Amino acid sequence: MSLSNRKITSSQAAPTLVEHERPTQGVRDIASNGWRAAGKDKYLAYFNLVYLMFLFFPLFINPYGGAKQVWITLGSLVIFLPLHFLSYRRERRAAIYIASSMVLLCYAVTPFNYGANTYLIFGVITAAYAFKPKTTLIFLGVSLALLELQAYYLEFPISYLVATPIMASMLVIYTLYNRKIESSNHILRLSQQEVQRLAQSAERERIGRDLHDVLGHTLSLIVMKSELASRLIERDAQAAATQIREVEKVARDALSQIRTAVSGIRLAGLEAELASARLTLLSADVQLHYQLAPVTLSAEVETVFALAVREAVTNIIRHAKAQRVEVELISQKNSLQLHISDDGSGHTLGTLKPGNGLNGMRERLLLLGGDLAIDTSPQGGVRLTLSCPKPEK
C-alpha cells in the first residue's frame, strides 16, 4: 500500500500561518509536509520502486520469452523512471501528462510483458493525487477499459482480466480516501493555529487595557506632582517634601496595582485551552468531550487548570493511544475539581511515572492549597483529578 502514499498538491493551495508548514509546490498533497518534516520525502520515490518487481515476474515465470521481451522491458524502464521521479517534483498541471504517459507505456509494453500493468497502476495512482475524485474515476475507468480490450485481443487469461481492475480500483479508492483525510488534518492544523493566534491576540489586548487603566492615571499624577515639587523646592522646601512623599506613595500604589495585574495575566483561559485541545486531539483522531460547571474562576486557578489541560493533552497524544478524552469541572461546597480522563492503553496499573509535567502541575496546585491525584485502570486509562479550594468571595 505504500505506493499509494504519494502526495500531489495544487499550485493553488492556500499558504499556512507558519512558514515552515507551507506546502511544497509540486506533485504533493497539501498535507504532505509530515514526510518532509520527518526526512522521508526524498526517499519515498525510491521506496515505491519496489513495486516494479511485478513488472519482472513474467520474465522469471516464463524464462523462454526471449531476449526481445527482456530488452523491451528494460527499455521501458528508461522511459518510466524519469516519469516516476517527475511525478514527485512537477506541478499538478503536469500530472495529466505524466499519468497518461505511464498508462500509454503500459499499453506499449503489455504485448511483450503482461507485467506492464504495473505501469498503469502507477499512472492511475498519480492521477488520484492530482485530479478531483470524479475526474480520477473517469481516468481510471477509461484506462482499465482500454487495457481490458487489449488483454482480450491478446487472449490473456481471465485471471488477468479480473485481477488488474480489482487491484487498480482498490489502490485508487484508498489513495482518494487517504488524500481526503490528509486534507482534513491540514485544515484542522490551520484551525488550531488560528484559535491560538486569536486567543493570544485577545490576551494581549486585555493586558494592554489593564496596564493602560492601571498606569495611565497614576503616571499622569506622578508627573504633575513631580513638576509641582520642582517649582516649590526653592520657595517652600517643606511643601516640596510633602509632594515628593505623595509621589512616593502614588508610585508604591502603582507598583502594587501592577503586581496585581501581572498576577492576573492568564497564559490561556480554560475554555480557549479546551477549544485548542479539541483541535489538537482531532488531528490525532481522538475525541474530546468536556463539561464545565457554571462557576467563576479566579485568574490563578484558571491559569493552573488551563496549563493542566495543555500538559494532559500533550501526554495523551504522546503516550496514551487513546480514542476518547473527557474533561469535567465540578464545583463543590468548598473546593473545585477538574477531572481529565482518557481511555488509552499507553499505561497500565503501576507503570505511570510522573514526569516534569505532572510534577509541575502538582507544584502549581500546592501553591493554591490544592493537590493532584492520578488514577490508572487495569485497562490502561488515566484519570487526573486536580482539586483546589474555592477562593473566598
How many angstroms separate the CA atoms of 389 and 1, rounded? Answer: 55
Domains belonging to the chain, first-starting first, are 2-188 (no CATH), 191-263 (1.20.5.1930), 270-389 (3.30.565.10)
Q: Report the run of H or E that residue 383 belongs to, with start and end.
A: strand 382-389
- DSSP code, position 287: E
pLDDT of 264:
53
pLDDT of 22:
37
**Cβ(314)–Cβ(307) below 8 Å:** no
Residue type at 31?
A: A
How many angstroms separate the CA atoms of 232 and 244, rounded? Answer: 11
pLDDT of 261:
61
Query: What angle is formed at CA 164 by the lines to CA 160 and CA 167, rounded to 5 degrees?
Result: 140
How many angstroms separate the CA atoms of 49 and 34, rounded? Answer: 21
Residues 6+ apart with CB under 8 A from 264: 210, 299
Phi and psi dihedrals of 296, rounded to 5?
-90, 125
Mean pLDDT by 10 residues, the chain (393 residues): 44 36 36 35 76 81 70 88 82 79 90 87 87 88 90 84 88 86 76 71 70 71 79 79 80 72 58 81 82 82 86 83 87 86 66 64 84 78 87 66
Q: Report the run of H or E that residue 173 belongs to, with start and end.
A: helix 158-232
pLDDT of 52:
85
pLDDT of 59:
78
Helices and strands counted in the chain (H then E): 12, 5
3-state class of 388 per DSSP?
A: strand
Output Rg (C-alpha) for the chain, integer angstroms.
Answer: 33
pLDDT of 142:
92
pLDDT of 104:
92
